[in-house]
Amino acid sequence: MSAELLIKNGRVIDPANGVDKQCDVLIADGKIAAIGKIDKSTQSTIDATGKLVTPGLIDIHVHFREPGDEEEETISSGSAAAVAGGFTSVVCMPNTKPPIENETDVEYVHRKARKARKTHIYTMGAITKGLEGVELAEMGFMAEAGAVGFTDDGRGVQDPAVMLRALKYSSMFNVFIAQHCQDDRIAGNGVMNSGYYSAILGLPGIDPLAEQAMLWRDIQLVKKICSGTGFQPVKTRPRWPCHIRYHAQHISIEGSVELIRAAKKDSIPITCEVTPHHLLLTEENCAEYDTNYKVNPPLRTSKDIEALKQAIAEGLIDALVSDHAPHLQSEKELEFLTAPFGIASLECSLALFIKALIEPGVIDWPRLIEMMTARPARIIGVDKGTLSAGKQADITIIDPDAEYEIDVNKFHSKSRNCPYHGWKVKGKVEKTIVGGEIRYSCGN
């Protein structure tokens, strides 16, 4: 007899199929067997009354620090954090030590992921060798080994000629190029947003223009390549007219929203993502020199937050990501100028997005789930993010009404650099099911 699991009576939200109704989900042999009213006795049943049953959440931007900084996070500890956060798939950034820049490195991540046996782990590869921004890495071999895309995340590709080559080259393998949009010459040695607070705190600032300038430049590059491949703006478009796929990582300012809005209107093949910290925190949080608020791109202003929320309401933002960036306490205890950038938030990002977007009514549940399942799946080009019959049974069960306090000491992640400790939030992951197996259960 085949292994069956029945999830009874939940609110099933499957945005890719336009489903939002109270019903049951039957899993058999690790796959979705049926959705609807199912009267059947199975080996195991989960009562999901009052809960949300959604496709397994997908986070396309996490840092698991292996190889190189295993004391901060490993693929194994990061995977445990992922399923505790409701994520059945995550995408690791390649800025490890050494970076993921060839076929063997990609295979290394996959091998470690199989061993961890928690969540599905994908990796991106470096755009340039050593993340130095000069010479292209072995993108073709990495794509063949299963890298889902390329980025030098941690910094942007500064040289436009290198970026142009990377975009053209990536289109041959139908993988996406993601950019940490920041012009180093404008950003200089900044450690927080440049403005009133950086001035009174006496800290070097990162001008928002550093992000805007690089995003603008990249859009011109994408446009240029598309125009050489029969790209027709708007009216006569076939959608995605060329194979280039460009993704702007963690956009944080109003200026970027405007650029994305205009680019999407012109059918430029661009997608983008937003983090919880750029929706919930501002530069003012740095006022006490607490390095848990030091992040790159830096925390901006409430005006930027409003612009990002407006963009989300309009459907301009494709994915919600944590940019989970674990760091050692000893490093974060350094002074603000020298401490590393980053926030570890994989385990609480769902609750944070609920706080930022559902509670104030910016969007509803199906829209939120879509930006955490189907749309990110499309960006990385994997057949996931839906509850269609026959698909692998990756499912997250969420209690939308459960209230709790975020406690970093309960994190499965190895790191605690999280400014949300003690925050009261609503919305808890009850169960995370990966390939039909329950890999996380709340309270266990």
Closest CA to 174 of 207, 149, 201, 146: 149
Q: Which of 323, 394, 399, 401 is catalytic?
A: 323
Closest CA to 226 of 244, 208, 202: 244
* Sign (positive or negative) of CA dihedral 238, 242, 247, 253: negative
Which window, 71-79, 149-157, 329-337, 435-443, contacts Zn ion (CB under 5 A)? 149-157
Q: Give the DSSP letter of residue 236.
A: G
Distance CA 353, CA 343 (A): 15
Closest CA to 108 of 145, 143, 137, 144: 145
* 75-114: contacts with Zn ion (CB under 5 A): none
Binding of residue 278 to Zn ion (CB under 5 A): no
Distance CA 399, CA 20 (A): 16
Residue 364's SS3 state is: coil
Q: How far is the CB of 134 from Zn ion (least distance, A)?
A: 19
The phi and psi torsions of 426 (rounded to 5 degrees) equal -130, 140
Ramachandran region of residue 86, left (φ > 0), alpha (ψ -120 to 50) or beta? left
Q: Which of 51, 112, 180, 245 binds Zn ion (CB under 5 A)?
A: 180
In the numeric block, which tokens belong to residue 295?
Answer: 């992040």
Q: How far is the CB of 114 from Zn ion (least distance, A)?
A: 24
Strand order from edge to edge, sheet including 87-92: 57-62, 87-92, 120-123
Binding of residue 138 to Zn ion (CB under 5 A): no
- Answer for the pair 347, 85: CB distance below 8 angstroms, yes or no: yes
Which window, 27-35, 52-60, 211-219, 316-324, contacts Zn ion (CB under 5 A)? 316-324
Q: How far is the CB of 379 from Zn ion (least distance, A)?
A: 15
Binding of residue 223 to Zn ion (CB under 5 A): no
Nearer of residues 179 and 194 to Zn ion, judged by Cβ? 179
Query: CA Rg, the chain, in Å?
Result: 21
Which window, 32-40, 76-84, 175-183, 221-229, contacts Zn ion (CB under 5 A)? 175-183
Q: How far is the CB of 156 from Zn ion (least distance, A)?
A: 8
- Please give the residue whose beta carbon sits closest to Zn ion in the complex: 180
Does 98 sit behind a cis peptide bond, omega within 30 degrees of 0 on the bond before it?
yes
Q: Let me know if 323 is a catalytic residue.
A: yes
Which window, 72-80, 97-105, 176-184, 424-432, contacts Zn ion (CB under 5 A)? 176-184
Nearer of residues 66 and 430 to Zn ion, judged by Cβ? 66
Residue 339's SS3 state is: coil
In the numeric block, which tokens belong to residue 95?
Answer: 């800025």
Binding of residue 73 to Zn ion (CB under 5 A): no
Torsion angle of C-alpha atoms 76, 80, 81, 87, degrees rounded to 10: 110
Nearer of residues 11 and 180 to Zn ion, judged by Cβ? 180
Distance CA 268, CA 214 (A): 16
Q: How far is the CB of 360 from Zn ion (least distance, A)?
A: 26
Nearer of residues 95 and 392 to Zn ion, judged by Cβ? 95
Nearer of residues 106 and 242 to Zn ion, judged by Cβ? 106
Q: How far is the CB of 63 from Zn ion (least distance, A)?
A: 6
The Cβ-side half-sphere exposure at 355, using a 13 Å CA radius, reads 23
Q: Which of 69, 105, 138, 153 binds Zn ion (CB under 5 A)?
A: 153
Nearer of residues 353 and 440 to Zn ion, judged by Cβ? 353
Distance CA 316, CA 129 (A): 32
Nearer of residues 10 and 154 to Zn ion, judged by Cβ? 154
Q: How far is the CB of 324 from Zn ion (least distance, A)?
A: 8
The count of residues interacting with Zn ion (CB under 5 A) is 3
- Answer for the pair 26, 40: CB distance below 8 angstroms, yes or no: yes
Which window, 46-54, 178-186, 223-231, 309-317, contacts Zn ion (CB under 5 A)? 178-186
Q: How far is the CB of 155 from Zn ion (least distance, A)?
A: 8
Nearer of residues 95 and 386 to Zn ion, judged by Cβ? 95
- Answer for the pair 63, 415: CB distance below 8 angstroms, yes or no: no
Which window, 147-155, 211-219, 354-362, 375-383, contacts Zn ion (CB under 5 A)? 147-155
Q: Which of 138, 152, 318, 323 binds Zn ion (CB under 5 A)?
A: 323
Residues that bind Zn ion (CB under 5 A): 153, 180, 323
The residues assigned a catalytic role are 323
